[in-house]
Structure 1
């Protein structure tokens, strides 16, 4: 008995499903990367109004900065506005950017960045960070739910 004619349709269905899954992951990757590129542009332009729409409006929004834990989008926007009065610049290493789809509407992003920061009137300092973000998609729009920078150890 030849089972090949019965297996071919099943194999085709399985292969199609794998390809579609790869396409969906690639779409998430591209969308999250584009959102992050826009996030960097907004950060470097010191534009809190544009940033507001990029951050998830959730009490669960989390940003850890300089050892301070900030919960909620409004608190984060207030802190960003203060920091924007000085030097504030992100320079990601886009070639090392990685996106991991956690679900259809949740993704984690990791990228090394050079971060230049300094209070107004003070000399800026440059530090390398591993920037980690969790993004969520709602209404077809990706928004940042968490920002977790980790200092890169000096060699």
Structure 2
């Protein structure tokens, strides 16, 4: 009977798919990376923030119309902001958009609100954040950030 070999072949193909490790889609991995980045900022954990960045001077953060090259420069600048009594990043997850650029690079558009300032009266500043992420030997890392105040 021809049916048995066909069924056996189909079963082998199905088994090979089931035994293949399942990897998260780049959108899930990049989103998880950004969520770790936000959580580390909100904990004032700059060691973890640094670890989520590409560890070379090719990293850039464009903020307030200025470019800050290298992870150490970003951490130094961020540490001054985090000296405020309040520093809280609140991503707008509903408006987040992922753009797959290649197998090892992706772009995340992330609107957010930054609460910063005194505990008695922190400012709530709406930002648009553009995040360029790249796949490295250590997983996905942030290679570039562009932050700009969102206009109403």
- Structure 1, residues 79-110: CA drift from partner, whole Å, max 9, x if none? 11222111221101112211111111110000
Contact 2:63 2:148 in 1 (8 A): no
Deviation at 1:65, TM superposition (A): 2.1
- Structure 1, residues 27-50: CA drift from partner, whole Å, max 9, x if none? 000100111111110111111111
Structure 1: tracts of 5 or more residues without a match? 1-22
Distance in 1 (alpha carbons) for counterparts of 2:125 and 2:87 = 12
* Aligned residue-pair number: 130
TM-score by length of 2: 0.77
The residue number in structure 1 matching 2:68 is: 70
Structure 2: tracts of 5 or more residues without a match? 1-21
Instruction: Please give the root-mean-square deviation of Cα atoms over the aligned residues, in Å.
Output: 2.1
TM-score by length of 1: 0.76
Distance in 2 (alpha carbons) for counterparts of 1:88 and 1:116 = 6
Distance in 2 (alpha carbons) for counterparts of 1:122 and 1:145 = 35
Deviation at 1:123, TM superposition (A): 4.0
More helix by share: 1
The runs of at least 4 aligned residues of structure 1 exceeding 3 Å deviation read 120-123
